Amino acid sequence: MNALTIRQVGWLLAAIAVIWFANLEYRTLVKPDEGRYAEIPREMVASGDWVTPRLNELKYFEKPPLQYWATATAYTLFGEHQWTSRLWTGLTGFAGILLVWFAGLRLFGREAACYAALLLSSSLLYVLMGHINTLDMGVTFFITLGILGLLLAQAQADVKKRRNWMLVAWAAMALAVLSKGLMGIILPGAALFIYCLVQRDFGVLKRMHWLPGLAVFFAITVPWFVLVMKANPEFFERFFIYEHYTRFTTRVHGRYQPWYYFIPILLAGALPWTVLMFDTMLRTVVGSRRGNSNKQFPGSKRSDINSVRAELVEAFSCPSTSSGRTAGVFNTERFLLIWAVFIYVFFSISSSKLPSYLLPMFPVLALLMGKRIAEMRGRVLLWQVAPAIPVALLLLGLALNVDKFADTPNQAELYPHYGPWLVAAALVSLAGLLAGMGLLWRERKSAAVAVLALGALLSVQIGLSGYETVARERSAKHVAEAIHAEVKADVPFYSVLTYEQTLPFYLKRTFTLVQYQDEMAYGIQQEPRRWIPTIEEFARVWASQPEALAILPVYAYAQLQQQGLAMKIIFEDAQHIVVKKP
């Protein structure tokens, strides 16, 4: 970024950091993911058992423990707060920005590196997932570190330096496995194999430093798996078979979506850089062969549709030593493109889909886009950013009419309070886009990209922070505050026909489930004594207790009355009722 000094880059980084971390504490945790991934490490700290993950004191083997450990450590050091529950997600998201800058610096140069970091820090999906407590940002960081470690290793002529970077890559893949399972090694391995087939270059496999690499990988991953299987013999079948093979190939988790599900996710998630993303991918396809870098592309004065078609055919044909590319030289750009496309296709054919599954695409796309911006004129980028203007105007229109999207009386009450935040987010987005486009028109590209990125990041953070106005619809923090005085450690607390994911974290205690299983069904199967299977049995237990509390959906109150339960309501809202035994 030649127009910016080192000092200016430092100020930019500081501004991004302030905006990035500013609202980790501000927002209430919402269900289901934020409550779940805040509660599991809280129970680790409370029980002292850091080997067997538990949710509501029930065995929970869906994911490995790295993020649980990190969050539990944050609780131990800084206390159990909203910001400490989100700290790992926020830190790994910000570290991913720094990682992309560092790798871009080594692979494509200083200017491209700075652009790549700015683009990643302002892409809609990446910013959102960096501030919502799920496991996806952590695994994305380590997978990205793994594949970029591989690329940096292949760029080294010195064998010792190559080995060191490969050990970094192996360690990162091990930490990715401990973050979210076997995808941490399977996805990078599959992408590398596809690259070898496409390039007809299997020489990279000889440069993997297999023996020391596997030693590092197993030294990091094996200890926990041995400990958890020793303590829980049933772990192997549940984790390796059910949570990987069954989840990918069936609709068991109820997350099935059609093949085109990720199209709008990708289009929206890349904003405001969506057009740039597709332009970059096309040019990477037609220019990834060595010797193509100086050829003209669509839109230049010396190109036509026939030459573009020829480039596409040539790019996808089997490479040869006469192609203008040095045989055996690792093609960084092609590998990054293969990785991005592979992630999209892999999860598109999966029977389980969530928006966050595309997250590993974004760091590598940012690298490619950063390189592309470094090569283009400002006015070319202007026309690629311009389509974000109608999107911002659409957001403004939706913000002004947000109350019309309410489906329940509770939403009708809350949504109008969200409107001003969305209006502010849309206006900031528009202001950043217009200011950036004005700078691009004057060919002040580096300043324009900085303005566009900061505007987009700030806009997303404003909209995300504003969600606090409607968070009580998906959070039980207000319930915990209302009943806190009634809750005692030695008084049983039952959760009847429901499980409010955020309530255990805010009350700092667990519940006995009544006629409810959901994602805890496996844990209940292993330890059935920890729940009550029917309302009728619960009525008998309730009658035998000198003191007791229960939370239930509003509709269930009449059902409990029919069972003759003696109850006194101590809290009620549109969704839940909390009762105690009088």
Contact 27, 464 (CB under 8 A): yes
Q: Which are the contacts of 62, defined by CB distance < 8 A and separation ≥ 6?
A: 243, 519
Query: Is residue 309 pLDDT above 80, yes or no?
Result: no
Percent of the chain residues past pLDDT 90, beyond the cut: 84
Query: Is residue 512 pLDDT above 80, yes or no?
Result: yes
CA–CA distances in Å: residue 291 to residues 287, 295, 297, 315, 324:
8, 8, 14, 12, 5
pLDDT of residue 87: 98
Query: Is residue 59 pLDDT above 90, yes or no?
Result: yes
Name the residue among 449, 459, 498, 581 with its Cα closest to residue 115.
449
pLDDT of residue 252: 57
Work out the burial of residue 149: count CB atoms within 10 Å of its CB; fewer than 13 is exposed, 13-18 middle, 19 or more buried. Answer: buried
Query: Is residue 314 pLDDT above 90, yes or no?
Result: no
Residue whose structure tokens are 């690499």: 213
Q: How confident is the model at residue 289 (pLDDT cuts 50, 70, 90)?
A: low
pLDDT of residue 324: 34
Pairing status of strand 531-532 against strand 512-514: parallel
Q: 32: cis peptide before it, omega within 30°? A: yes
Residue-range domain boundaries for the chain:
378-471, 477-580
73-82, 144-153, 345-354, 383-392: the lowest-pLDDT one: 345-354
Contact 344, 266 (CB under 8 A): yes
Q: What is the pLDDT of residues 514-523, one digit of tens each?
A: 999 999 999 9
Contact 508, 45 (CB under 8 A): no
Q: Which amino acid is at 257?
A: Q
Query: Is residue 399 pLDDT above 80, yes or no?
Result: yes
Query: Is residue 315 pLDDT above 80, yes or no?
Result: no
Q: What is the pLDDT of residues 407-454, one digit of tens each?
A: 988 899 999 999 999 999 999 999 999 999 999 999 999 999 999 999
Average pLDDT score over the chain: 91
pLDDT of residue 303: 39
pTM for the whole thing?
0.91
Query: Is residue 509 pLDDT above 90, yes or no?
Result: yes
More confident residue, 70 or 259: 70
Contact 85, 71 (CB under 8 A): yes
Query: Is residue 228 pLDDT above 50, yes or no?
Result: yes
Q: What is the mean pLDDT of residues 95-120?
A: 96
